[in-house]
Amino acid sequence: MGRSFLLGNSGYLGNDKRGEYRSSGTTGNVSVKKHYLERRRGNFEPITHCGASTTGVLYQEDWDDFVVGDWFVQDDTLNGWDVSSESASEGTNAGLVVLNTGGAYEYDDDQNAHLWVDLFIPAEVTNLTLDFDWKCDGESTFDYGYVWITDSGDTVTATPRESAADKNKRLGGDSSVTFTSNAFRRYNDNYNASSDTNWVSEPTIRLTADTTQSGPGDSGDVGIGTYVAGEYNRFYFSFTSDGSVENNPPFGVDNIIWSYTASTAICNDPNSPKPYVE
């Protein structure tokens, strides 16, 4: 599958289905290539749909009907996130870390790549869960994926996020690695031996409201994260590798679903849960 990169730059991923897109800053033309990576231009306007239920799907992504503006990337010089049909849990596409030369589902050493979405969580939401499928071989505590949450004002570069504050915000994954290790809450075949050749489903990650957004830390309370209600929260899917062994495939994600329980009905339509204007 063809791919296009702006190396080292923050950008967005998208399946171009229009001749132009809308943002709060400018209106511009986009490429007619099916899968295109372009630099982010302006902040996309939030969209709301009012429903009548206190439970439902807040947002979901299976990459098969993908549009510009929902997801953003920070890629490294050789590796980066792209939507590809080379491998998928089900359906046609999956979000994958791939080489920028040839678009293969492979990785180089000493690389870091981040994929994220800014998700608005209404103030009425009292509980949030995250489910997704993933795949990764990687290497022990050196090459792995990780999932984390932070505020939407976070600035990310093509470097690993391994400070204590960042690790506090990691979600799910392998907690058998101690908190002092950068590989805390990793996703690779050391966490699930089947993930080197098969897509596996991550056990449901439960998130609770916490204005400090301090995360689970090393409390042993596996799978619980925190979010800030009434604000945009940034969810990352990241991959890191060190400077030696490469065991493909790298981190891939598919069938991502955020489900909610709310105190009262919120503005949401499970049939159109995108957080941005299309």
Beta strands (DSSP E) in 161-270 are 200-201, 205-209, 224-227, 231-240, 252-262
Does residue 249 have a cis peptide bond before it, meaning omega lies within 30 degrees of 0? Answer: yes
For the segment 207-223, the average pLDDT, to the nearest whole number, is: 55
What sign for the dihedral angle of Cα 184, 190, 193, 197? positive
The string of pLDDT tens digits covering residues 251-270 is: 999 999 999 998 887 764 44
Region 219-239: what's the mean pLDDT? Answer: 76
Tell me: the pLDDT tens digits for 108-165?
A: 989 999 999 988 888 888 888 999 999 999 999 999 999 999 888 888 899 999 988 8
Q: Is the pLDDT of residue 14 over 90?
A: no
Please report, rounded to a whole number, the percentage of residues in the chain having pLDDT higher than 70: 68
- Where is 167: in which H helix or E strand? helix 164-167
Is the pLDDT score of 96 beyond 90?
no
Q: Which of the four CATH numbers 3.30.300.10, 2.60.120.200, 3.40.1350.10, 1.10.150.120 does domain 10-262 have? A: 2.60.120.200
Mean pLDDT of 13-37: 31
DSSP, collapsed to helix, strand or coil, labels residue 89 as coil
Residue 213 confidence class, pLDDT cut points 50, 70, 90: low
> Taking the domains of the chain in order of start, what are their residue ranges?
10-262
Q: Give every CB contact of residue 37 below 8 A, 6+ residues apart in sequence.
A: 3, 4, 5, 6, 11, 12, 13, 14, 73, 75, 80, 82
Assign 40 to helix, strand or coil: coil
Looking at per-residue pLDDT, the higher value among 13 and 138 belongs to 138
Is pLDDT of 36 > 60?
Answer: no
C-alpha distances (whole Å) from 278 to each of 38, 46, 70, 184 are 16, 10, 8, 36
